Chains A and B, each alone.
Chain A
Amino acid sequence: EIVLTQSPTTMAASPGEKVTLTCRASSSVSYMHWYQQKSGASPKLWIYDTSNRASGVPNRFSGSGSGTSYSLTISSMETEDAATYYCQQWSSNPPTFGSGTKLEIK
C-alpha cells in the first residue's frame, strides 16, 4: 500500500503568515486530496484532485504537486484555519491517509 508522510507533524503560525503543509507518497500518485478536521468534528473535504478547492473553502487555500510530492498552502493564516489537515490518495488500493499535520495559531 502507498504510505503518505506528512510534515511537519505540528506547527504554529501567526495570523497573516504563509503556511505550507507537505505530503510525500511512497510511490507516485496521480492526485492528492486534503481534509480539514477540527477537534470533535468529522473530516471535511478541503482540496480534491490536487488543486481544486471544495465548496466553501476560502481562496487563501491552494493545493499543488505531482508524483510523490504534494502540498497545501495557506496564503495568509487566519484563526479559523487552526485544525488538523490530512492528505489522502486513491491512485492504488487501498486508499490511504497521511498521519496529519496539526496547525495551531500563534
Chain B
Amino acid sequence: QVQLKESGPGLVQPSQTLSLTCTVSGFSLTSNSVHWVRQPPGKGLEWVGAIWSGGSTDYNSALKSRLSISRDTSKSQVFLKMNSLQTEDTAIYFCTRTGSLYWYFDFWGPGTMVTVSS
C-alpha cells in the first residue's frame, strides 16, 4: 500500500539548515510527484514545494531562495533542504503526493515537527 514517512532533526537552531527526508513505498517516484506541505502550530496548510515525476522541481516563491528539493529514486527518498531558518519556519512538515493526471494530494505522511529555537 502507499505510504510516505518524514524524518528529520526535530530541533534546528536559528540561521541553520533544515534537512528532511521523505521515504515512500507502494509507488514509484518516477510515476508520482512528491510535495512538501507545512503547518505552523495551530494554523493552516502551506505548500512548500515539489519534485515532479520527471525530476524537475517547483518551489513556493516566498521560500524559493532558501529551498532545495531533490530525490534518490533508487532509495525511494525525497529530500528537503531549507537554509537560514527562522522561528517562523517552526511547523509540522508533511510529505504528500500527486499523480500525473491529478492535482490533489491523495496520500500524506504522518508529518514531522520542526522547531526552530536556540
Contact = CB atoms under 8 A, between A and B. Distances in A.
Contacts of B105: 33, 35, 43, 45, 88
Interface in A28-45: 31, 33, 35, 41-45
Contacts of B58: 93-94
A94 B60 CA distance: 7
Contact of B104 (A90, A93, A98): A90
A86 B94 CA distance: 15
Interface of chain A, helix or strand or loop or mixed?
Answer: loop
A41 B104 CA distance: 18
Interface stretch (B7-15, B43-51, B69-77, B79-87): B43-51
B47 A97 contact: yes
A26 to B, nearest CB: 16
B106 interface: yes
B45 A97 contact: yes
Contacts of B103: 31, 33, 90, 95
Q: With a 10 A CB-CB cut-off, give which of A41, A88, A99 has the most chain B CB atoms.
A: A88
Q: How large is the interface on A (under 10, 10 to 19, 20 to 34, 35 or more residues)?
A: 20 to 34
A46 B46 CA distance: 18
A45 B61 contact: no
12 contacts: A33-B103, A33-B104, A42-B94, A42-B111, A43-B108, A45-B104, A45-B107, A48-B106, A88-B45, A95-B103, A99-B44, A100-B45
Interface of A: 31, 33, 35, 41-45, 48-49, 54, 86, 88, 90, 93-100
Interface of B: 44-47, 58, 60-61, 94, 102-111
